[in-house]
């Protein structure tokens, strides 16, 4: 039994950033299959901050290894665009399996980490978990509503 309303969860805004169209399509398939309908897909990481401000997502799925931009810098930029009491988790997806890559990503602000290729079911569960936490956090910090 979920603490959070499933409708609330599925309407959360999710921003997916990956330079590989195939992967974007895969994630789209997975997310739509789960029932999420407020999605934004971005294959050009240079537009990431812009899109972040404009779309204001509740969750970000981010590929760390993209041409033209360092994923870690992007993580840092996201953190700076996030308000002090705002909880906006980032799930990092990367083909870099080294322990250093995980540590660095988590240290810079990622909330969770998955190596590519990932298990379809596992990613679904992790996304749901992160969103649930996000919703709960939002409910706790929102005054008198």
Partner 1 sequence: MPEPSAPLAPLRPVVPSRLPLAWADLSLTGKGLVVIALPLVILIGSLLALYFAFDAEARAEDEVRRAFAIQRDMYQVHALLAEAGSGVREYVLSGETRALAPLREAQVLLPETLARLDTSIRDQGVRQAFSEFLSLSDKKLAGLETLSELAGSNVEPDARMEAVRESLASNRFVLDELRLQIDEIQRLEQQVLDRRRSDVASDRAGFLWMTGISAVVGLLGSLAGILLFSNGIVRRVQLLEANAEKLERGEVLDPLPDEADEIGQLARKLNSASALLRAREKDLRDGEERFRLVVEGVRDYGIFALTPAGLVATWNAGAERIKGWAADEILGAHFGRFYPDETRGFLPEAMLARARRDGRAEDEGWRVRKDGTKFWANVVITALFDEGGALRGYAKVTRDMTDRKRSEEALMAAQREAIAASRAKSEFLSRTSHELRTPMSAILGFAQILELDQSDFDSRHKLAIGQILKAGHHLLSLITDLLDISSIEAGGDDVELGMLILAEVLEEARALAQPAVAPSGADLAVELPAGEIKILGDRRRVIQVVLNLLTNAAKYGATGGRILLSARLLDNRIQIEVSDDGPGVSEEDVPRLFTPFDRLGSQSSKAIEGTGLGLALSKRLVQSMNGEIGFRNRDAPERGAIFWFTLPVCKSPPDGLDTPSIGPQPITESTQ
Binding site for partner 1 (CB under 8 A): 20, 22-23, 25-26, 29-30, 33, 65, 94-99, 102, 106, 113-122
The CA-to-CA distance between both ends of the chain, in Å, stands at: 23
Spatial contact of 39 and 74, defined as CB atoms under 8 Å apart: no
CB of 29 to partner 1, least distance (A): 6
Nearer to partner 1 by Cβ, of 117 and 141: the residue is 117
Dihedral pair phi/psi, residue 79, rounded to 5°: -65, -35
- Give me the helices (H) in the chain, please: 6-10, 21-34, 48-55, 71-80, 99-108, 120-141
By DSSP bridging, strand 69-70 and strand 39-42 are unpaired
- Least distance to partner 1 from the beta carbon of 53, Å? 28
CB of 94 to partner 1, least distance (A): 8
Name the residue nearer to partner 1 (CB basis): 49 or 106. Answer: 106
Q: Which is nearer to partner 1, 121 or 144 (CB)?
A: 121
Least distance between partner 1 and beta carbon 37 (Å): 18
Nearer to partner 1, 26 or 128 (CB): 26
Query: Can you tell me the distance from the alpha carbon of 129 to that of 91, in angstroms, rounded to the nearest whole number?
Result: 11
């Amino acid at each position: 039994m979920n603490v959070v309303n499933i409708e609330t969860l599925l309407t959360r805004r999710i921003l997916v950033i990956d330079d590989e169209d195939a992967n974007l399509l895969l994630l789209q398939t997975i997310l739509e299959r789960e029932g999420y309908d407020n999605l934004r897909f971005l294959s050009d990481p240079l537009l990431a901050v812009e899109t972040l401000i404009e779309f204001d997502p509740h969750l970000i799925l981010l590929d760390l290894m993209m041409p033209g931009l360092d994923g870690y810098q992007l993580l840092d930029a996201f953190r700076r665009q996030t308000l002090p009491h705002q909880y906006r988790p980032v799930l990092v997806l990367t083909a870099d399996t080294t322990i250093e890559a995980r540590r660095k990503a988590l240290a810079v602000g990622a909330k969770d980490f998955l190596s590519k290729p990932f298990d379809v079911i596992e990613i679904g569960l992790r996304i749901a978990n992160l969103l649930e936490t996000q919703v709960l956090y939002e409910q706790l910090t929102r005054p008198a509503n």
